[in-house]
């Protein structure tokens, strides 16, 4: 690489050149100036040509780059279109799948509801069957010796007419005068007759005296004129040994005048 001239040397060359042409004629000076201008024009032309060539190469290269960019953009556009189409297809597929899942869920829910209804119906049917086979006690009350001079007696029978055995916790009987028979009639401690395990077809039987002394004429007249009403009643409490549910049966008869003593009563029965 050539060394850069010092400024002092450049000045000496310019001064020398100026001295050389100091005595030139106007014509020589004009020619010299023309030569210098021509040289500068040529140099500038060369520079312009070089710049043009460089620009041309850059344009060509840029054109190639632009073409590549255009091709790449086109490929991206095609890929984006294909992706959009695929995405649309995926969305449609997903939508169809969701729709099918919803339909399946609805069918499953309906199946669950049907199964629940069937289970409930089966449960009710089983409960009805169990209840239908439960122990059930009826009551009969028979009155005897209801005559003046005798001590009337009553026989109360609580019979298990159901299909399963029962555990009897209490069987009570009593007799008493009432204007209207109450929901909870009176019982004494001695009215409890028996308790225990009772199979179907068997029962609890209680026999007791309605009065502690023979019936008097005055008592008979009171009953016949409806001045008072005599009730003979009983209650049995029992439990279903299979389900553990507790049940009861109440029964009562009231004295009816002008009826043979063997049938002096109307049975009233309630049970649960």
Strand order in the sheet with 166-177: 196-198, 166-177, 230-240, 246-254, 266-271
Looking at residue 264, its pLDDT comes to 46
**Three-state secondary-structure class, residue 195:** coil
Shared-domain flag, residues 202 and 94: no
CB 238 within 8 A of CB 250: no
266 pLDDT band, cuts 50/70/90, is very low
Indicate if the pLDDT at residue 44 is higher than 70.
Answer: no
263 pLDDT band, cuts 50/70/90, is very low
Looking at residue 161, its pLDDT comes to 92
Shared-domain flag, residues 89 and 155: no
Model pLDDT for residues 76-118, shown as the tens digit of each residue: 667 656 656 665 666 676 667 667 777 777 777 777 787 777 7
Of 89, 116, 132, at which residue does a domain stop? 132
pTM of this prediction? Answer: 0.52
Looking at residue 118, its pLDDT comes to 74
Q: Are strands 246-254 and 266-271 parallel, antiparallel or unpaired?
A: antiparallel
Model pLDDT for residues 184-217, shown as the tens digit of each residue: 899 887 667 767 889 999 998 988 999 999 999 9
CB 165 within 8 A of CB 197: yes
Q: What φ, ψ does residue 78 adopt, rounded to 5°?
A: -65, -45
Q: What φ, ψ does residue 128 adopt, rounded to 5°?
A: -65, -40
Q: Report the half-sphere exposure of 167 (CA within 13 A, side-chain side).
A: 9
How much is the mean pLDDT over the chain?
76
Contacts of 49 (CB under 8 A, 6+ apart): none
Shared-domain flag, residues 150 and 117: no
Strand order in the sheet with 137-144: 137-144, 153-160, 203-209
The pair of structure tokens assigned to 215 is 């019936």
Of 80, 113, 132, at which residue does a domain stop? 132
Q: Tell me how many degrees the CA angle 115-120-125 measures, rounded to the nearest 5.
A: 125
Residue 7 lies inside a defined structural domain of this protein: no
CB 25 within 8 A of CB 17: no
| Range of the structural domain that residue 72 is part of | 26-132
Shared-domain flag, residues 110 and 173: no
């Amino acid at each position: 690489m050539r060394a850069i001239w010092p400024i002092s040397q450049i000045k000496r060359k310019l001064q020398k050149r100026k001295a050389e042409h100091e005595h030139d004629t106007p014509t020589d000076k004009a020619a010299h100036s023309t030569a210098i201008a021509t040289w500068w024009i040529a140099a500038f032309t060369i520079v312009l040509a070089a710049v043009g060539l460089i620009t041309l190469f850059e344009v060509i290269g840029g054109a190639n780059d632009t073409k590549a960019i255009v091709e790449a953009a086109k490929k991206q556009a095609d890929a984006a279109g294909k992706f959009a189409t695929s995405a649309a297809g995926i969305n449609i597929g997903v939508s169809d799948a969701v729709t099918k899942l919803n339909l399946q869920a609805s069918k499953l829910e309906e199946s669950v509801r049907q199964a629940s209804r069937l289970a409930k119906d089966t449960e009710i049917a089983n409960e009805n069957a169990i209840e239908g086979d439960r122990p059930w006690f009826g009551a009969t009350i028979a009155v005897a010796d209801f005559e003046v001079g005798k001590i009337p007696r009553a026989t109360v029978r609580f019979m298990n007419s159901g299909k399963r055995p029962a555990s009897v916790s209490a069987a009570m009987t009593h007799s008493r005068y009432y204007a209207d028979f109450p929901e909870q009639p009176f019982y004494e401690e001695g009215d409890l007759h028996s308790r225990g395990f009772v199979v179907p077809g068997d029962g609890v039987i209680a026999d007791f005296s309605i009065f502690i002394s023979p019936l008097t004429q005055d008592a008979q007249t009171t009953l016949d004129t409806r001045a008072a009403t005599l009730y003979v009643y009983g209650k049995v409490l029992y439990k279903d040994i299979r389900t553990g549910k507790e049940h009861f049966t109440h029964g009562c008869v009231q004295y009816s005048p002008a009826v043979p003593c063997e049938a002096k009563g109307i049975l009233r029965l309630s049970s649960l």
